Structure 1
Amino acid sequence: MTYKTVMVHLDTSTGAHTRLSLALRLARKFDAHLDGVFAMSDPHPVGFYAMTGTPDIYDAHRRFLADKREAVERLFRAELSRTQVPGAWAAPEGYPVATIMQCSRSADLVILGQSRPKDRESYVADDFLETVVLGAGRPVLLVPEAGDSGTVGERVLVAWNGSREAARAIHDALPFIARAAHVTIAAVSTALAPRPADASCADVVAMLKRHVTIPVDISRLDHPATVSTGDTLLKHAADGNYDLLVAGAYGHARFHEFVLGGVTRKILSSMTLPVLMSH
């Protein structure tokens, strides 16, 4: 099992360069095709006119964005040539969230960046990450704001609670797990879900050992009630020098608002290492 089509979201933010660098490395690692999909927030002309009072400013703004988009495209194509990675560029018209969602459906792995509140050019739309992670139907690799972590997938920490989402994430991460040097199953619990039984963890280990030749160990994460499961997972990942966290994404949309599980929300906001999430 492997990833043969990797998709990376690109924009004009500083984080896009980090995502592209990682995407190129992973495309080479998995001998995959790389799709670069450009999407960023573009104000509606009616609202822009209302704020500025003239269409000329909006037209100038669109030309400015077009110039920056072309610069990103040149960089993407140059990097494909330099690294000899096969790939394709796309900058589809339309609502950016919808275009990213549509493009992600034909990818084996989708790479997005953690939200960067201080970088206005990284803004795509409200609840962008949540929308794609919960709705794409594909595994999403989230790149932390902290930047390039070097290796990804050498030491893998798998968050396991026996749920459907956790099972989906583990199987979606098998290409990473099969190539890892170290894999740990972290038995976690939440306020609503008790820690998985020993038999459940053992079954997961037995399944993974049919894919890997390295030992797969189990770590039981006990934490006080005052410390969240998300914080415990991230601290354990940092203390163990893991370079990939695999976790199920929990949540749903209700009346156009996203109701996320506490662990998912914490990881999205505070992750310090790449995280592969599936819903």
Structure 2
Amino acid sequence: MSYKTLVVHLDASVRAHPRLETALQLAKRFDAHVIGLFAVFEPDPRAFTIMAGTADYYEQHAAARREQRATIERLFHAEIRRAGLSGEWIETHERANDAVPRFARCADLVVVSQDDPTDPESYVGDHFPETTILASGRPVLIVPYTGFFASVGKHPMVAWNGSREATRAVHDALPFLTMAERVSIVSVATSRSEAPDDRIPGADIAACIARHGIDAEVAPNGVASDASVGETLLSRAADLNADLVVMGGYGHARWQELVLGGATRTFLASMTVPVLMSH
């Protein structure tokens, strides 16, 4: 198993180039085809005809957006050629929350960014990373909006709790795990956990992936309240110097409300290293 088709979401934000660099780094490692999917938020131009003077602002903004789009497209093709990879550029005028999951379903991995509250151009739709995780059916690599990541996946930390989502994430991450220099498995017990037994948390999944040739270390079990599992996992990732966290994405969409688990919310808000999530 490997990642042979990568979709990287591109937009007009300042993090588009670093996100592309991460995707190309992975594509080179896995010998993968790269799809650069350009999808941005476009306000309804009719909304700008209501107030005097705003129509001109909209046209200026649209012209600047077209220039930014052309720049990132040129960059995409140049970087693909420089890296010696196969790739294709796709621009869509669909809502990003619809387009990215749809294209991701025909890929092995999708790369997006954490929401950046300091950059208006990073907004492409409400709950975009969360929607991609829950709707795409594919593993989603989320890159933090701060920091640069020269390598991703040399030392993954698996956040393991035995759930369906965590199981899906581990198996979706096998290409990373098999090529990693070190793999750590971390479990965090909560006040609502079942009574402990003789099993070592994480030893079961460690034995499973060992048959794939992965020698994983099982870190000591942590304990936290349910609300602070995310913070505890973030702290463990820092302590272990992990450069990737693999975890299940917990939640569901209910009518127009996106309902997420506590650890998922914490990581999406406060991640310090890239996170691979599967639902």
Q: TM-score range by the shorter chain?
A: over 0.9
Higher mean C-alpha displacement, 180-189 vs 265-274: 180-189
- The SS at the match of 1:158 is strand
- Displacement, 1:188? 2.1
**Matched-pair contact (CA < 8 Å) for 1:4–1:30:** yes
Which residue number corresponds to residue 230 of structure 1? 230
- Displacement, 1:56? 4.5
Look up the equivalent residue of 1:167 and give its one-letter code. T
Look up the equivalent residue of 2:205 and give its one-letter code. V
- The SS at the match of 1:162 is coil
- Displacement, 1:7? 0.8
Look up the equivalent residue of 2:218 and give its one-letter code. I
Aligned counterparts, 1:233-244, within 5 A: 233-244=233-244
User: Residues 1-20 of structure 1: CA distance to partner in whole angstroms, max 9, x if unpaired?
Assistant: 10000111111111111111
- The SS at the match of 1:220 is coil
Which residue number corresponds to residue 140 of structure 2? 140
Which residue number corresponds to residue 270 of structure 2? 270
- The SS at the match of 1:94 is coil
Aligned counterparts, 1:63-212, within 5 A: 63-194=63-194, 198=199, 201-212=202-213
Give unmatched runs, 5+ long, in structure 1: none
Look up the equivalent residue of 2:153 and give its one-letter code. G
- Displacement, 1:133? 0.9
Answer yes or no: is 1:30 the counterpart of 2:30.
yes
Look up the equivalent residue of 2:238 and give its one-letter code. A
- Displacement, 1:228? 0.7
Cα distance, 1:204–1:177 mapped onto 2, change above 3 Å:
same
- The SS at the match of 2:189 is coil
CA–CA distance in 1 between the matches of 2:114 and 2:80? 24
Which residue number corresponds to residue 42 of structure 1? 42
**Matched-pair contact (CA < 8 Å) for 1:49–1:58:** no
User: Residues 224-249 of structure 1: CA distance to partner in whole angstroms, max 9, x if unpaired?
Assistant: 44971111111111111111100000
User: Residues 151-198 of structure 1: CA distance to partner in whole angstroms, max 9, x if unpaired?
Assistant: 211111101111000000000000000001111111123454448862
CA–CA distance in 1 between the matches of 2:268 and 2:217? 26
Cα distance, 1:72–1:264 mapped onto 2, change above 3 Å:
same
Cα distance, 1:276–1:19 mapped onto 2, change above 3 Å:
same
Look up the equivalent residue of 1:142 and give its one-letter code. I
Question: Scaled by the length of structure 2, what TM-score is found?
Answer: 0.94
CA–CA distance in 1 between the matches of 2:223 and 2:41? 40
- Displacement, 1:46? 1.8
CA–CA distance in 2 between the matches of 1:50 and 1:205? 61
**Matched-pair contact (CA < 8 Å) for 1:189–1:195:** no
- Displacement, 1:62? 2.3
- Displacement, 1:200? 6.2
Look up the equivalent residue of 1:168 and give its one-letter code. R
CA–CA distance in 2 between the matches of 1:260 and 1:195? 25
Cα distance, 1:158–1:54 mapped onto 2, change above 3 Å:
closer
Give unmatched runs, 5+ long, in structure 2: none
CA–CA distance in 2 between the matches of 1:193 and 1:207? 22
Aligned counterparts, 1:241-256, within 5 A: 241-256=241-256
- The SS at the match of 2:223 is coil
Look up the equivalent residue of 1:92 and give its one-letter code. T
Cα distance, 1:251–1:192 mapped onto 2, change above 3 Å:
farther
Cα distance, 1:227–1:26 mapped onto 2, change above 3 Å:
same
CA–CA distance in 2 between the matches of 1:31 and 1:195? 45
